[in-house]
Chains A and B, each alone.
Chain A
Amino acid sequence: MEQIVDILRDWYDNSRVIYAVVTLGSVLLVGLVAAGIGNWLAGRLGISTSLRNDNDGGR
């Protein structure tokens, strides 16, 4: 963990572009993985998403 902190601190101090790319990439990756796991779990648990909220907004 300390090594990860040191690497991040090094990028933060010396190469801000790499730090920014790693930042954005890691949060997108965590988000996508979490969405995939959630999707899979919901399917296993039988939580229905078949009744979509497709309406015309009351028009």
Chain B
Amino acid sequence: MYFPIAEVHIVAWHLILIGFAVGVCGSFWGMGGGWITTPTLFALGVAMPIAVGTTTTQVVGLAVVAASWHRKLGNISRRVALALIPAEMVGVEMGARILQHIKTFGRARADAAISLLFIILLGAMAAYTLWECVCRLRQLAAARQQRAAGADIAGSPEEEQDQLGIDLAGWIRNWQVAPLLKPRKIRQESISLWVIVASGLLAGTVIGLMGVGGGFLRVPMLVYIIGCPTRVAVGTSMIALVMSGAYGSFTHALKGNVDLLMALYILMGSAVGAQIGSLATRYVQGVGVRISFAVALTVVMASLVLKTYFNKPEAALVVIIGVAGLMAATIIILFVRGALQQPRQQAVATTTQSKGKRLE
């Protein structure tokens, strides 16, 4: 099928399948999956500015689906979201204007510049997330050893996954400058409004400039800096993405960077995938989500390097679609396994309760 605005031929079914895989992965990690979709469209031959605008647009629809599930699951911190969203909108406009300026360099230079930004961001995020996961796993292992040795450690291993861990961003978190917010669902007592605003500005600029939902920056910021448990970070990120993404989509469409038809085909797949990804967060714990995220970041970065610096678009496409498909399949398996186990666990709990009553 020919897409006249993007000026490329792509099979519509391929877009729907890509959307499905991105939807599963994106909503599972609490983001729109733009950091997978934009490089995939780029590998398919779409110009970077159009890939950025189109991805921003499809991400909005995906975020609506995922946010509705996260709201049901109680994964949203409203106070954090209310402070984050206006700052992100300002950031989106800044990013979109920078992109317009980059477009004036010509297609080849614009593509190279945005690809380089992607590679730097994805690389930094992958390195930091992997490093944090390794540290956290070490701490969990140490806590288990202590427990095995008879030391009194409160809480379950699952709770420790959110409570323990390194605190590299702790000094930002402890920057208690008024006005202070006291959201109910975060770990510390209070957080400075300015910390949330700065996080929103940064995430918004990345959304406007690179077409990524901002989730791959926003989720780590919500976890490490603002102190949200992973599941709350994922849900809050999605609701922020609906609002800032909608603004980003509108401003990019005005600037001529959106192929609506392409966005709708991707959205058809991602709308289905997002439902599965959001529900799967019920069955997988924090550190597992972050490890899979770090691996995917690294592979997507490798795909961009292949396309931009080695001029191997086919290899880049295989790598990026391969990782998205593999991750989506894993998440679906975890979801199905968890959904099947839940009734059994509930039945066991009911039996135990009734036995206890009979004994009384």
Does any Cβ of A come within 8 Å of B237's Cβ?
no
Chain B residue numbers with a CB within 8 Å of A26 are 260, 264
Check B162 against A58 for contact (C-beta < 8 Å): yes
Check A48 against B342 for contact (C-beta < 8 Å): yes
Does any Cβ of A come within 8 Å of B17's Cβ?
no
Stretch at the interface among B121-129, B271-279, B307-315: B271-279
* Contact with A34, one of B188, B271, B279 (Cβ below 8 angstroms): B271
Q: Report how far A26 CA is from B262 CA in the complex, Å.
A: 12
With contacts A23-B253, A39-B68, A54-B74 taken as known, whether A34 is within 8 angstroms of B61 at the C-beta atoms is yes
- Closest residue of chain A to B339 (Cβ to Cβ) is A47
B283-311 interface code vs A (CB 8 A; 1 in, 0 out)? 00000000000000000000000000000
Interface size on A, residues (CB 8 A): 37
Q: Report how far A35 CA is from B60 CA in the complex, Å.
A: 12
Q: Report how far A21 CA is from B253 CA in the complex, Å.
A: 8
Which bracket fits the contact residues of B?
35 or more
Chain B residue numbers with a CB within 8 Å of A31 are 60-65, 267, 271
Does any Cβ of A come within 8 Å of B244's Cβ?
no
Q: Report how far A27 CA is from B262 CA in the complex, Å.
A: 11
Check A27 against B60 for contact (C-beta < 8 Å): yes
Does any Cβ of A come within 8 Å of B246's Cβ?
yes
With contacts A31-B267, A53-B75, A56-B185 taken as known, whether A16 is within 8 angstroms of B256 at the C-beta atoms is yes
A1-37 interface code vs B (CB 8 A; 1 in, 0 out)? 0001100110010001101111110111011101100
Does any Cβ of A come within 8 Å of B4's Cβ?
yes
Check B275 against A42 for contact (C-beta < 8 Å): yes
Stretch at the interface among B92-100, B134-142, B209-217, B223-231: B223-231
Smallest CB–CB gap between A45 and chain B, Å? 9
Does any Cβ of A come within 8 Å of B130's Cβ?
no
Smallest CB–CB gap between A32 and chain B, Å? 6
Q: Which 7 A-B pairs have the closest CB atoms?
A: A31-B64, A34-B271, A52-B74, A31-B61, A20-B253, A38-B275, A27-B61
> Contacts A27-B263, A35-B68, A38-B271 given; 6 further ones with Cβ under 8 A?
A22-B260, A28-B64, A35-B275, A49-B69, A52-B72, A57-B228
Q: Hey, which bits of chain B sit against chain A, CB under 8 A?
A: 4-5, 57-58, 60-65, 68-69, 72-75, 159, 162-163, 184-189, 227-229, 231-232, 246, 249-251, 253-254, 256, 258, 260-261, 263-264, 267-268, 271-272, 274-275, 279, 282, 339, 342
